[in-house]
Chain A
Amino acid sequence: MWLYFAKRTILAVAIIAIAVTLLFLMIMAVPGDPAVVMLGPRATLEMKEQLHQQMGLDKPLVVQIGTFFGGLLRGDLGFDVFSRRPVADIVFEQLPYTIELILVSILWAVVIAVPLGCFSAMRRNTLVDHVVGVVTVATIAIPSFVMAVYAVLIFAVSLRWLPAIGVGNGFWDGLTYLVLPAFAIGIGWVGYISRLVRASMLEILGENHVRTARSFGISEWRIVARYALPLAILPTVTILGIGVAWLLSSAVFIEVVFARPGIGALIVNAVNTRNYPVVMGVVLVSTVIIVTATTLSDLVNAFLDPRTREKL
């Protein structure tokens, strides 16, 4: 297990380094001078040169990459070109909001989807199973930002039950502000996870150890909860790891629609203004989150199923 852990960690660090280098090169390959976009039509040559110096754009690309990684090793992600604040401060200030949004979204989705998937599997090919199937597939098909807009129009604008924007103050108030965005992100995952659990469950329920359990007269719910679900949940754990990338991209839209702080809203603003140090900082942190999440899901899988450790 420890050897597997070490291998996965080295691989994760390598992936992060490659991803960040590629991103750096992609940003530099975009045509046009970022200083021009940032300073606008009234920029003088002197002002452009000054900004080039501030951003390090006057140096060769190799030096820029070297400087970036050198700073990274010291925990320095550079400075925001506009506010002159450290990028690390800005990113880590916004990150908790995105993490809480993602965790709450996935948490409620799992809580609803896993029992729903089990229920569908137990009522296979009944009317209930078909209805659940149609509804869950529909939720997968609707993009989260469409769901978000309609959720705001119905629950915030028409009914005025919930706030339309912001994050609120304090724990309980904050929860009310999380309901709509977490609903918009999580609803698609309810469909996705429930279909996945149903499919795995059907496979497991047909296996020998389940049939043996039935022959002992153990109740169907107990069989599902005790003997089938722990195995059927494995693909879901894997998917959740990979799903962090999807959740982060959903958060970009959701944070804009709900005017929530977070790294999604931050990167939209930074890309629009060509604030490259912030773009790099956000992407670096997002990459670390995604790679960490997939690594963790692999480690959890390896922990739960020792056969997977042999595969790396």
Chain B
Amino acid sequence: MNYYQDGVSRRTFLKTTSVFGGGIVAAGMPLSSAIWAAEGKVLTAASTNDISKMDPQFYTAVSEVSVMECLYSKLTRFKPGSEWGWELEAAEKLEQVDPTHIRFRLKKGIKFTGDYGELTAGDVKFSFERGIKHKSPVKDNWGSLDHVEIEDDYTGVIVLKTPFMPLFNIAFPYAVGHIVSEDAVMKATKDGGDFGMNPPSFSGPYVLAEYKPNQHLLLTRNPDWAGSKPGFDEIRVVLIGDTKTAERAYQAGDIDFTGITLDSLAKFKSNPPADTKIEEHPSLNYHWIGMNVDHPKLKDINVRKAIQWAINVPQILEAAFAGQAEVATGTIPPGLLGHRDKALVPPEGDLAKAKEFLEKAGVSELNLTIDCLNESLFSTIAQTVQAQLSQIGITVEINAQDAGSFWTLGMESEGDRWKDMQLTVMWFSNLPDPYYATSSFLQSRVGVWNWERFRSERFDELSAKGATMSDPNERAKVYQEMQDLMEESGAYRFLTHGGNPVMYRTTHTQAVTRPDGYPLYVDFKAV
């Protein structure tokens, strides 16, 4: 048999391709990767969310903000601990002159890297106004901000169109509050717009030395930083999309700090890895069962109340959250102003009372639908509700849907599906101010994000009042009443805020987090 073709033997061909294949493998190896620092104190932390923005005005996730806090300065910062609060950072002084004017005075000597000079009031003005100017998707974090007036290099006045207290809790100490260098950003972007993952200058304790998409961010000390020295010489934020993978990486010793899933929490609590501290933190998110008050089957408040009382929340948390999440009393989590100590309907509910409400409504056999995301957490919640409502004679059909389909269900702009919507398993993410935990339920949001179609003049009135009040105690009362109104409408059965448990290696670091468990890397102490 002739194995030769055109002067190349099959054997030669196979040998050549093997060598070629090996060459490609070798070429694909990360030869060019930066070598991790061999010396110094190094923190390796997992980020279980992707990081795709380092521009504060265009942030997309809280995990990005945890890194931004290391790179830029801001007027104020969140206090570590279990209660939400803020303290001064780059500002020496911050005072509310009147309801629409806030004066700040900057500390002197905060430098931008790359010879962009000192951080000035002009940089504050540029940073705060550019999100609105460039129509950032998160520009609503600025509420009613109008503009910033510069008084001198270090002093300026933030001018609001209308009073807006959430600015102190959301804008200044959080993502959009980070101050960037006007000169550097203008030079890098020409129009002052989104600089994505390429920060042109830094003003925080660290600089971004390397970013490898889907791999890691490497932060090293900022040589120009004049503030207090952070605990680590280098921070490696490893991007691990799957939290279970992060848990295994922690157990293998590859990382020192990670979030953990609620499924794994009990296992880690009973059998923690060596030298590990586990901390549990309530998330800011909130989960609830919503009822469309405009649907004919749910129009009668007695039917809705029957459902509220038939739902046993601890049972749901046991089934869907591995029993590791706390019962929510409303939309505002513990530690945040406006949190209620207890809900109006007890967590366990009461089947006898539920049946009474159903009798009052004159309903004997009721068939309902419940819509949920097609993820196991939400399907489990729906199935548990289905079982619980069957105990009072309500038959529930579950419609699990893809995110794209589910999140448009109650929107009037997306068709008429909202008319058929009855029960929904809902969750919203949140920011650390009660305004954000309640503003989705205003009358103006009916058919937008208010899918329960709950309407209350009093609620709207209180929301407007709460956004402008400066007395925290009075403000708390307003938001507590608002949650009472939501619950009294029968349209909501609050479930939980979930949780953000974390674990870290105590032989390596003392971790410091916000009340919701997100890391404040700058405050981490090396052990």
Task: Judge whether B403 is part of the interface by a CB distance below 8 angstroms.
Answer: yes
B403 contacts across to A, CB distance below 8 A = 32, 37, 274
User: Is A175 engaged at the interface, CB distance under 8 Å to the other chain?
Assistant: yes
Chain B neighbourhood of A1, CB < 8 A = 5-6
Q: Which of B48-66 contact A (CB under 8 A)?
A: 50, 52-53, 60
A259 lies within 8 A of B241 (CB)? yes
Quick one: CB contact mask for B293-326 with A, threshold 8 Å, 1 for yes?
A: 0000000000000000000000000000000000
Q: Is the CB of A261 within 8 A of B248?
A: no
**Nearest residue in B to A34 (C-beta to C-beta)?**
B404
| Residue numbers in A under 8 Å from B197 (CB-CB) | 83, 85
Q: Are B212 and A261 interface neighbours, CB within 8 A?
A: yes
The reply to whether B35 and A43 contact each other, CB–CB distance below 8 Å, is no
Q: Contact between B245 and A259 (Cβ–Cβ < 8 Å)?
A: yes
Assembly CA distance A145 to B489 (angstroms): 47
CA–CA, A47 and B141, complex, Å: 14
Candidates A36, A167, A269; contact of B241 at CB < 8 Å: A269
A9 to B299, CA, bound (A): 64
Question: Would B242 and A261 count as touching, CB distance under 8 A?
Answer: no
Q: Is the CB of B34 within 8 A of A265?
A: no
In the complex, whether A60 has a CB less than 8 A from a CB of chain B is no
Q: Is A217 an interface residue (CB 8 A)?
A: no
**Quick one: closest B residue to A304, CB to CB?**
B10
- Taken residue by residue from 264 to 290, chain A's Cβ proximity to chain B (1 for < 8 Å, 0 otherwise) reads as 011011000110000000000000000
A100 engages B25 (CB within 8 Å): yes
Docked Cα-Cα span, A104 to B197, in Å, equals 32
Could you say which residues of chain A place their CB within 8 Å of the CB of B6?
1
In the assembled complex, A152 has its CB within 8 A of some CB on chain B: yes
Nearest to B28 among chain A residues (CB) is A100
Supposing A37-B404, A97-B28 touch, asked if A169 and B36 sit within 8 A by C-beta, the answer is: yes
CB within 8 Å of B: which of A156-197?
Answer: 156-157, 160, 163-171, 174-175
* A90 adjacent to chain B (CB < 8 Å): yes
A258 on interface, CB distance cutoff 8 Å: yes
Shortest distance in angstroms between B290's beta carbon and chain A's nearest beta carbon? 13
Output the least CB separation between A138 and chain B (Å).
24
Collect the chain A residues with CB atoms within 8 Å of residue B34's CB.
Answer: 169
Once A31-B404, A174-B29 are accepted as A-B contacts, the answer to whether A82 and B60 lie under 8 Å apart by CB is yes
Q: Determine if A30 is an interface residue (Cβ-Cβ < 8 Å).
A: yes
From B86-94, B407-415, B478-486, the one touching the partner chain is B407-415
Whether A36 and B28, one on each chain, are in contact in the complex, defined by CB atoms closer than 8 angstroms, is no
Nearest-neighbour CB distance to chain B for A62, whole angstroms, equals 22
Q: Are the C-beta atoms of A32 and B53 separated by less than 8 Å?
A: no
Residues of B within 8 A of A304 (CB): 10
- Whether A39 is near chain B, meaning CB under 8 Å from some CB there, is yes
The segment out of B227-235, B250-258, B354-362 that lies at the interface is B250-258
Tell yes or no: A46 within 8 A of B by CB.
yes
Q: Which residue of A lies closest to B50 (CB)?
A: A269
- In the bound complex, what is the Cα–Cα distance between A129 and B48 (angstroms)? 46
CA distance A83 to B54 in the complex (A): 9
Does A256 contact B242, Cβ atoms closer than 8 Å? yes
B393 within 8 A of A: no
Are A170 and B31 also in contact (CB < 8 A) when A152-B252, A164-B254 are? yes
With A169-B33, A266-B214 in contact, is A259–B404 under 8 Å at CB?
A: no
Q: Are B248 and A164 in contact (CB under 8 A)?
A: yes
Known A-B contacts A32-B403, A160-B252; the reply to A103 vs B242 at CB < 8 A is: no
Q: Cβ of A265: which chain B residues have Cβ within 8 Å of it?
A: 214, 241
A164/B249 contact (C-beta < 8 A), A30-B402, A103-B25, A259-B242 known: yes
How many angstroms from the CA of A230 to the CA of B28 in the assembled complex? 29
Q: Would B428 and A41 count as touching, CB distance under 8 A? A: yes
A-B interface, 4 closest residue pairs, ranked by CB to CB distance from nearest = A32-B404, A100-B28, A164-B252, A261-B214
* Interface residues in chain A, defined as those with a beta carbon under 8 Å from any beta carbon in chain B: 1, 30-34, 36-37, 39-47, 50-51, 80, 82-85, 90, 93-94, 96-97, 99-100, 103-104, 107, 149, 152-153, 156-157, 160, 163-171, 174-175, 209, 230, 256-259, 261-262, 265-266, 268-269, 273-274, 300, 303-304, 306
8 contacts between A and B (CB under 8 A): A163-B254, A164-B251, A165-B248, A170-B29, A170-B33, A170-B35, A258-B245, A303-B13
